[in-house]
Copies of this chain bind each other. A is one copy, B any other.
Amino acid sequence: MDYVIATIASHSALQILKGARDEGFKTIAICKGGKEKPYKLFDVADEIILVDDFSLESFNAVEIRLKEKNAILIPHGSFVSYLGTERCTQLSTLYYGNKAVLEWESNRVKERVWLEKAGLQLPRQFDSAEEIDCPAIVKFHGALGGRGYFIAKDAADFKAKIAKSVYKNRSYVIQEYIVGVPVYIHYFYSPLTKELEVMSFDRRYETNVDSIGRIHTTDQAQLNVDVSYVVVGNTPLVIRESLLSKVIEMGENIVAASMIINEHGLFGPFCLETILTPNQEFIVFEISARIVAGTNLFINGSPYTDLKYSAPMSTGRRIAVDIKQAIEQNRLHEVLH
């Protein structure tokens, strides 16, 4: 019985479908009408299923077609945000990964429990303005894509700034502001090999915060720039080799701690989003329990995967390898939860 690899056409779908093709699978892109051009021009899909939207009804119809084709769905960041965590959990199509992880990733309280159980260092969180005793960053929830975030040095500063914010009626989180460089760590853990792999690293490219440093301080003071953190791309990096032990340990701990979710735990690609401080400590502010867009940099392999693999190994392709090996070993059920 032949399987087909399918995903929603966005985020990291080019790499997922290309990787699947490289491993011999047929591929399906599920695409919002009008957004199909990249998938045609880069020619990564054997079939493009067009949808008007990602409503319950639309995707029910898609699922019927997917099941006819014996398709395995690969989730990614936009996949989850388009369908919603709950709808994802209810998918009846074959699904690579452990759906139970989705809720733990999307719920900030559960996420924190998981990260702490893994022994990772997290930024402190303040339940109220009064608790702020160090520089803090205020992040608004919802689909704002990093807009409106601000830095507060104390309770008074917070109150002055929140009062002026256009987002003040949104819910938000107040987090310790860590001064250090961003490092996004891309991992892969296979339930077949039981081995953790460090795939690559990136730094997000955020508008406009990654260009305000190009404005002289005198001009910045005058221009009244609103700082925003909207992710629009990624840039590559490698990290100091002596930090790799720590990186691996963090990844292994996250996988081990994921047994609190259920007996399948976390597997496949995931990412720890960290700030690396002058003390060379990784402060983890988030986990993405699926493929992240930063891996798009490494469609032809990264300096790290080039060490291990003789073929160019993107994270998307690594997923396809996992599925292929599972099929060959009659263990497909072990990667579909």
Contacts and interface: CB of A to CB of B under 8 A. Distances in A.
Interface of A: 10-15, 18, 34-35, 37-38, 41-44, 78, 135, 147, 151, 153, 157, 177, 179-183, 195-198, 201, 203, 205-223, 225-228, 230-245, 248-249, 275-278, 280, 293, 296-301, 303-304, 306-308, 312
6 contacts: A37-B248, A42-B308, A151-B215, A151-B216, A151-B223, A233-B276
A225 B244 CA distance: 27
Contacts of A212: 179, 213-214, 216
Nearest to A14: B307
Q: Which of A11, A206, A242 has the most CB of B within 10 A?
A: A242
Contact of A34 (B35, B197, B216, B245): B245
A150 to B, nearest CB: 8
B211 A179 contact: yes
Each complex incorporates copies of this chain amounting to 3
Nearest to A150: B219
B231 A220 contact: no
A52 to B, nearest CB: 16
A222 B136 CA distance: 12
Contact of A238 (B180, B221, B296): B296
Contacts of A211: 179-182, 275
A147 B277 CA distance: 11
Contact of A296 (B195, B241, B275): B241
A311 to B, nearest CB: 11
Contacts of A201: 233
A151 B223 CA distance: 9
Contacts of A10: 241-242
In order of increasing CB-CB distance, the 6 nearest A-B pairs are A213-B213, A299-B303, A228-B278, A300-B306, A38-B244, A217-B220
